[in-house]
A and B are shown apart, each in its own frame.
Chain A
């Protein structure tokens, strides 16, 4: 079975500073990888996804992530954060071709707090 580890439960950062949110996964087969963002009192929204091809994936709001197969990582980065990026970020993985449905396995989330 696949699993996802987000080691940092909280990441404080000053506005306009760069940020990296870490995600490592475990799977014996190839997987699809996702980052979702959750703003307070809302559902989750897709930031970006890696399916295949280029290992650098660009998403919405200036975020990007790099898939590293040898390190089984999919870290999320932004070169300059804004106060509005304060939210909880979830890494998720799903297995290709399981016969139906997008059954994502989520990490435990990283709370990004951007301070002035």
Chain B
């Protein structure tokens, strides 16, 4: 059972560089989302998608772009990395567009921006 797979696990960027965090799920989940986790702040929603071709902003979307061309994949793009984006990023998915379906999380990508 692969579940939710995130790559890479670790990444170091210089300020101004761009990169894409990959997320793939093999559970045919309609809903996918990206969170960032920072010490003392819990997890905050960046962007989410309720299906292929549909995305929307979460609580902290600035500096990030997403797209959802397939059900399986939901990449997160950092256009111009900033030190404030140093964080651990989690991708999550759930089985249907409802509020009571549990989220399945990947193991995270630890990003450092210098």
A103 touching B108 in the complex, CB below 8 Å, given contacts A44-B90, A49-B100, A97-B99: no
Q: Is the CB of B103 within 8 A of A46?
A: yes
Within the assembled complex, what's the spacing in Å between the Cα atoms of A109 and B55?
A: 27
Within the assembled complex, what's the spacing in Å between the Cα atoms of A49 and B100?
A: 8
What 0/1 pattern do residues 90 to 116 of A give for CB contact below 8 A with B? 100011111011111111110000000
- Please, which residue of chain A has its CB at the minimum distance from the CB of B56? A101
Q: Is the CB of B42 within 8 A of A106?
A: yes
Chain B contacts of A97 at CB under 8 A?
A: 99
Within the assembled complex, what's the spacing in Å between the Cα atoms of A103 and B100?
A: 10
Chain B contacts of A43 at CB under 8 A?
A: 4, 90, 92, 105-108
Chain A contacts of B33 at CB under 8 A?
A: 101-103
Q: Is the CB of A103 within 8 A of B58?
A: yes
Within the assembled complex, what's the spacing in Å between the Cα atoms of A33 and B45?
A: 17
What 0/1 pattern do residues 1 to 18 of B give for CB contact below 8 A with A? 000100000000000000
What 0/1 pattern do residues 74 to 114 of B give for CB contact below 8 A with A? 00000000000000001010100111111101111000000
Residue A71, interface by CB 8 Å: no
Q: Is the CB of B99 within 8 A of A95?
A: yes
